[in-house]
Amino acid sequence: MTMQERIAELDRIRHEILDGAPAATEAQHAKGKLTARERIELLLDPGSFQEVEQLRRHRAQGFGLEAKKPYTDGVITGWGTVEGRTVFVYAHDFRIFGGALGEAHATKIHKIMDMAIAAGAPLVSLNDGAGARIQEGVSALAGYGGIFQRNTKASGVIPQISVMLGPCAGGAAYSPALTDFVFMVRETSQMFITGPDVVKAVTGEEITQNGLGGADVHAETSGVCHFAYDDEETCIAEVRYLLSLLPQNNREAPPAVPATDPADRRCERLRSLVPLDGSRPYDMREVIAEVVDDGEHMEVHERWATSVITTLARLGGQVVGIVASQPSSLAGVLDIHSSEKAARFVQLCDAFSIPLVTLVDVPGFLPGVDQEHGGIIRHGAKLLYAYCNATVPRIQVILRKAYGGAYIVMDSRSIGADLSLAWPANEIAVMGAEGAANVVFRRRIAGAEDPDAMRQQLVKEYRAELMHPYYAAERGLVDDVIDPADTRVVLVKSLTMLRTKHAGLPTRKHGNPPM
């Protein structure tokens, strides 16, 4: 066979691979789903994809597998670019064995993960598979073990993004759970350890696949999903946007862009946006939009644990992570879920050198038997540990109130914030004035001729002496009390100063955080 004939044979095979099975492609489209290659085309810059092990086939015997040995073995692996930066990707091809994972399939994924770690570039998985390939038995299970090990090895080293575009059941669900971000598409993607049939057999409960593990369930109830969208095109476009906010690896700074929003822009609206009355709610998202570049930010876990906001944005062209109380949800209290949500976000930002800005308006931790029995102490300690362990630039801004342990946990100066700023209406105290007066002056109030009048008088005295806006500043716990309109200007200047910050941690294998 001549070289030309060999090249012609290779071209024929590649055409067969790229053409795929038309009937299977139609079936995929009929479900409202794109094929694996169509998804990769949406994710990566045009013409940038370089495939790896396209000609790989399984070597399993029995159960009819020896008669069906398609190229790629049901997973497409390779690398390309997103906005010119290298990104590694693997995509399950549901048209081949339902995207089920076998030995060769897993080996391809292991290889591309190893390449991503070695090259120091993000890894995106486009998941649409039926789990382990039953015909290959324990070899398939061992393949998942290799993926989990590499997910853990890559954690905090390169960004890992899981995009759920179909079913993900059983042990397969643990790989996305180990990654930094999980994207899901409504109606077409589901994640669960045991499916509806098993749930019904064991517990008697009847539920649909989407009701058990659909995008909305994981975005609102479980917190497994960070982002949920209505269609694949929007979902993948948002993955590209997220990548533009992340560094390639833990040795690089996040990508900076020329700022189109003036660094010295004053935010006059902030003076009236936040009510002086600490009991009145407002939407912290409006504050964030006023402060960040062009009002744009990408909220993580938008619909889960809504009493705290975690979002990525830019200030002066530089990427920042923002943790913010949300007074319009549970008055902005910290509870089990919001503490865990904020803690993981702080850890992510610290791992990838993203400075942290914490906007505080917190009345405390949520009281209640369910919270105490659910381990609010342990979960609150997760957030405390994450902040104390973070070495990136950290700035706290107290907008209105900051009470009790929640004030400390929300990146106070006492746990290592580089700068603490406060607005003129701030109240920093062990608890609110009313509660404090009832505790401190209990006997005086009880013995007064008019207890209500005495209580109101003592509340005013307590607030005037211990909760006035300059009390914390006078004791060095707040660096400056600023005009709300100057918030953006001060943050941009402060982050510029802190850009060269260097802070070390004690030599250790790793800490032992409250898991």
Question: Could you list the active site residues?
Answer: 170-171, 405-406
The full length of the chain comes to 515
End-to-end Cα, the chain, rounded Å:
62
| Helix (H) / strand (E) containing 207 | none
Judge contact between 463 and 283, C-beta under 8 A.
no
Report how far residue 149's alpha carbon sits from residue 118's, in angstroms, rounded to the nearest whole number: 15
Task: Give the span between the Cα atoms of 105 and 56, in whole angstroms.
Answer: 8
Nearest to 323 by CA among 427, 452, 436, 411: 411
Q: Are 399 and 287 in contact (CB under 8 A)?
A: yes
For strand 394-403 and strand 419-422, is the pairing parallel, antiparallel, or unpaired? parallel
Torsion sign across C-alpha atoms 177, 178, 181, 184 = negative
Q: Which amino acid is at 161?
A: I
Beta bridge partners of 480: 421
DSSP SS3 for 155: coil
> Are 327 and 282 contacting, i.e. CB atoms less than 8 angstroms apart?
yes
Q: Using H for helix, E for strand and C for coil, what is the string for 403-418?
A: EHHHHHHCCCHHHCCC
Of 265, 266, 403, the residue nearest 333 (C-alpha): 403
